[in-house]
Amino acid sequence: MEIHNFNGLLEAVKKQSKRRVVAVNGVDVSTLGALNEAVDLGLVSAILTGDRSKIENSCRELHIDTGKYEIIDAQNEREATEKAIELIHDGYAEMIMKGMLSTDKFMKALLKKEFGLVPSRGILSHVSVMESPNYHKLLIFSDAGVIPYPDLQQKILMTGYLIRTAHALGIGLPKIAVIAPTEQIIISIQSCMDGATIAKMSEHGQIEGALVDGPMALDVAICRESAAIKGFTSPVAGNADCLLFPNIDAANVFYKTNSKLCKAQMAGVIAGAKVPAIVSSRGDSEKTKLNSIALASLIS
């Protein structure tokens, strides 16, 4: 059944078997606050790695019962990271969440070959899901946080992550728009050429499980009126489920404009590893963090 909003996402996660999330160095109140709500709602069970005394102090500050969690004591950030990765490697947890450590260190740990969390030819990519009061359904897009300027091969892999996320949300044949400044195929604009290539690959059956079209300007992808005015005919136009942005600049501005000015609700995960990873921005709301935990649980 297709999920149309974040309330539906939370309800769907409550009905599935409970997944385990491990919070890497989960000693800070920001991580524990979001995670505690997810635990209380019955979305996940949680494991915390990190200094036990710091975890207990943060829990006291938030009036959280530490008995809700399995705590794995670690003397420092590095040990906390390695213990969390080991749990994922051994199949003891189905999701991983960044706690009090830098995003760079967290991403480097996921990418370390000795941990085996990312396939040899795989990449990590940020996938966002948005519920906007100005759009008629959930909108999935990437990459707003990890790959600055993806090349064609990376965009093909990113398209696959968008498709899998859409399928997890119950969208049987997601419509994907490869975003560029225009629908014209202009050789001097790389996003136009990449959009045309990926769309042709989809047409030839090289990308399965979705309907992909591009290049396509953003207004045409999400507004039927704009598509009609421009005379652009496509089953994706004005009705996109997923947007593949050309670079992090465009995707990140889209994310923050919608969340801060348009009051859209958001969720985001890092895809491409053995398990989904939750890496919240410092500017993300508690609701965004909760939605992200729920999204990771659904696709894990």
- Which residue's entry shows tokens 């036990």? 52
Give the pTM. 0.94
Could you tell me the domains of the chain?
6-118+274-299 (3.40.50.10950), 125-260 (3.40.718.10)
Query: What is d(CA 281, CA 103) in angstroms, rounded to the nearest whole number?
Result: 9
pLDDT tens figures, 88-123: 988 999 999 998 888 888 888 888 887 788 888 889
pLDDT tens digits, one per residue of 17-45: 999 999 999 988 888 988 999 999 999 99
Nearest to 151 by CA among 206, 190, 113: 190
Query: Per-residue pLDDT tens for 44-81?
Result: 999 999 999 999 999 999 999 999 999 999 989 999 99
Q: Give dist(CA 70, CA 87) in Å, integer.
A: 12
β-pair type (139-142, 125-131):
antiparallel
**Which whole-number Å values give the CA distances from 126 to 44, 61, 79, 135, 206, in the listed order?**
21, 32, 26, 21, 23
Q: What percentage of the chain carries pLDDT values higher than 90? A: 82
* Res. 156: pLDDT tops 70: yes
| Res 282 pLDDT > 70 | no
Torsion angles phi and psi, residue 129, rounded to 5 = -125, 130
